[in-house]
Amino acid sequence: MRFSEYFLPTLRDVPKEAEIVSHRYMLRAGLVQQTSAGIYAWLPMGYKVLRKIEQIVREEQDKSGAQEVLMPTIQSADLWKKSGRYDDYGQEMLRIQDRHEREMLFGPTNEEMITEIFATHVKSYRDLPKNLYHIQWKFRDEIRPRFGVMRGREFLMKDAYSFDLTKEDAKYAYQKMFLAYLRTYKRMGLKAIPMAADTGPIGGDLSHEFIILADTGESEVFAHKDWLEKDITGQGIQYSDREGLNAYYEELTSIYAATDDKHDPSAIDASNLVTARGIEVGHIFYFGTKYSEPMNARVQDSNGDMVTVHMGSYGVGVSRLIGAIIEASHDSEGIIWPEEVAPFKIGLINLKVDDAGCREACEKIYADCQEQGIEVLYDDRDERAGTKFKDMDLIGLPWQMTIGPKGLEKGVAEVKNRKTGEKSEVSIEAAMTKLAA
Ligand code: ATP
Ligand code: MG
């Protein structure tokens, strides 16, 4: 992409309404634009990152055996009356009336709808287990939308729903998701600690929140100091290895970590305890038959008896993750994108666009990158070098490659690693080889 053609409305000034760094940088780097309180339009670069995050979530869900569906954003109130949640959900639910005065709503979550879909089609234990997920916009009329996309009213969520014959099997489904989550966050360069959590209005008795430690987090959390060093990717564990997975799950969950509601000071020695703030980027629940019972999701077991299925639900805050990643990875100059979610891998800076040599060299690099499938943002604008460097640091691409007349005389480009700040002068070929890796 050429910077001169890109719709990338960067801002010089810090927007007043933005209280935390991720929100400031998201606005300044032109990733999103607020259209109403807690509702955002995604501009090209922000949308590119959002899609990458979404894709990582999708790939890890698929690997765990979950199957993607897509349910609508608008739901009928009847479904929610059946489960008894229509009244309970309260003012966070955006209620709508269609032209026939039928009660509809903009879905805040999908337990009811997926259970209805499941119950329509699945009648036998032979069709279990099933885990169905979708990645869809949700609406919750939050009392205090704030911190940009971190607490929006409209936000993108991945929500998965598991269906099993027994509680034991449901626990296995839960543990698979647990592992998928660890891997998902790790791929985004994040460390999300699974913490024992309250089940809240969704109900049930087994739940973990996945929390990234950050001073600007909304939750107060409590964890054993061992978490700080612990590698939690579950390397080598296979989803099909039920015992291995269970052992790994037991190992991790035996290390103390709890959200505010679940914290029990008597359960951990004070000298080992870390109290911190955290951002919730995912939440998983096992809730038994809470929805399958009222929604009539039953299957026939091997004896021919009708059994109510056991369920779990598993959410990832896809749009919140962009904010969380920036909170975890930035400096005073701007965002530092982890490579896996970066909108482009390289920012190519032409220091002197009116110099034929610079132009030619940059055009060649730009074309080579495109041929090799390397994502590059080429700053071909007629702007001062200082402005270009500032913008490039702000938008935080992992690598910067700078071409100027002096370097060209020696046949070199300057390559900068955005994260470490390390710069080196290398031949253009060497730079290309390094960055293609
Ligand atoms: P919170 O306590 O932050 O309100 P929640 O318990 O209501 O979260 P869930 O219903 O478990 O959230 O939703 C799954 C995930 O969706 C959360 O872990 C979070 O990452 C994300 N999420 C929830 N509410 C919002 C919101 N208003 N804006 C952006 N993401 C959200
Ligand atoms: Mg909430």
What CATH number is attached to the domain comprising 170? 3.30.930.10
User: Is the pLDDT assigned to residue 15 strictly greater than 90?
Assistant: no
Which of 36, 284, 320, 325 is the pocket-test mutation for ligand 1 (most atoms within 8 Å of CB)?
320
Residues 295 and 380 in one domain: no
202: pLDDT confidence band, cut at 50, 70 and 90? low
Residues 147 and 89 in one domain: yes
pLDDT of 217 reads 92
- In-domain check, residue 339: no
- In-domain check, residue 209: yes
Q: Which of 282, 309, 334 is the last residue of a domain?
A: 334
- In-domain check, residue 428: yes
Ligand 1 centre to CA of 293 (Å) is: 25
pLDDT of 34 reads 95
Helix (H, G, I), strand (E, B) or coil at 120: helix
Ligand 2 centre to CA of 141 (Å) is: 10
Ligand 1 centre to CA of 317 (Å) is: 6
204: pLDDT confidence band, cut at 50, 70 and 90? low
Give the CA diameter of the chain: 82
DSSP letter for each residue of 59-88: HHHHHTT-EE----SEEEHHHHHHHTHHHH
pLDDT of 437 reads 81
Residues 267 and 379 in one domain: no
Helix (H, G, I), strand (E, B) or coil at 241: coil
Q: Give me the percent of the chain exceeding a pLDDT of 70.
A: 99
Task: Please state, rounded to an integer, the average pLDDT across all residues of the chain.
Answer: 95
Ligand 1 centre to CA of 132 (Å) is: 19
pLDDT of 248 reads 96
- In-domain check, residue 201: yes
**Sheet strands side by side (includes 346-350):** 376-379, 346-350, 399-403, 412-417, 423-427
Q: For 140-169, what is the mean pLDDT?
A: 97
Contacts of 228 (CB under 8 A, 6+ apart): 274
- Work out whether the CA dihedral 228, 231, 233, 238 comes out positive or negative: negative
What amino acid is encoded at 344 in this protein? F
- Calculate the CA dihedral of residues 384, 386, 387, 388 and round it to 10 degrees: 90
For the chain, the domain total comes to 2
Model confidence over 416-436: pLDDT tens digits? Answer: 999 999 999 999 999 999 998
Asked which of 7-16, 302-311, 380-389, 404-413 is least confident by mean pLDDT, the reply is 7-16
198: pLDDT confidence band, cut at 50, 70 and 90? confident
The residue nearest atom 29 of ligand 1, judged by CA position, is: 151
> Which residue reads 């989550």 in tokens?
181
Could you identify the atom of ligand 1 that is nearest to the CA of residue 159? Answer: 14
Residues 26 and 79 in one domain: yes
Q: Which domain holds residue 127?
A: 21-334
Model confidence over 87-99: pLDDT tens digits? Answer: 999 999 999 999 9
Taking alpha carbons only, the member of 383, 391, 386 closest to residue 353 is: 383
- Between residues 234 and 50, the one the model is more confident about: 50
Ligand nearest to the CA of 209: 1
- In-domain check, residue 12: no
Ligand 2 centre to CA of 408 (Å) is: 55
Q: Give me the percent of the chain exceeding a pLDDT of 90.
A: 93
Residues 114 and 185 in one domain: yes
Ligand nearest to the CA of 218: 1
- Ligand 1, CB within 6 Å, residue ranges: 109, 140, 142, 151-152, 155, 157, 200, 280-283, 315, 317, 319-320
- In-domain check, residue 13: no
Tell me the HSE value of 163 on the side-chain side, using a 13 A CA sphere.
Answer: 31
235: pLDDT confidence band, cut at 50, 70 and 90? confident
Contacts of 96 (CB under 8 A, 6+ apart): 74, 103, 104, 105, 106
Which of 133, 157, 325 is the pocket-test mutation for ligand 1 (most atoms within 8 Å of CB)?
157
CATH no. for residue 381?
Answer: 3.40.50.800
- In-domain check, residue 363: yes
Residues 228 and 100 in one domain: yes
Model confidence over 286-304: pLDDT tens digits? Answer: 999 999 999 999 999 999 9
Q: How far is CA 6 from CA 311, 380, 409, in A?
A: 46, 11, 30
Q: How far is CA 103 from CA 60, 81, 86, 137, 295, in A?
A: 36, 11, 11, 20, 19
Residues 97 and 188 in one domain: yes
Residue 269, token pair as written in the block: 């020695």
Please give, one letter per residue, the 3-state secondary structure of 196-234: ECCCHHHCCCEEEEEEEECCCCCEEEEEECHHHHCCCCC
Ligand 2 centre to CA of 328 (Å) is: 22
Ligand nearest to the CA of 145: 1
Model confidence over 21-53: pLDDT tens digits? Answer: 999 999 999 999 999 999 999 999 999 999 999
Chain-centroid distance of CA 274 in Å reads: 25
Q: Contact 414/424 with Cβ under 8 angstroms? A: yes
Residues 31 and 100 in one domain: yes
Residues 132 and 228 in one domain: yes
Residues 110 and 258 in one domain: yes
Q: Which of 334, 362, 379 is the last residue of a domain?
A: 334
Ligand 1 centre to CA of 315 (Å) is: 8
- In-domain check, residue 5: no
Residues 152 and 289 in one domain: yes
231: pLDDT confidence band, cut at 50, 70 and 90? confident
> Which residue reads 């109900």 in tokens?
203
Residues 312 and 362 in one domain: no
pLDDT of 199 reads 75
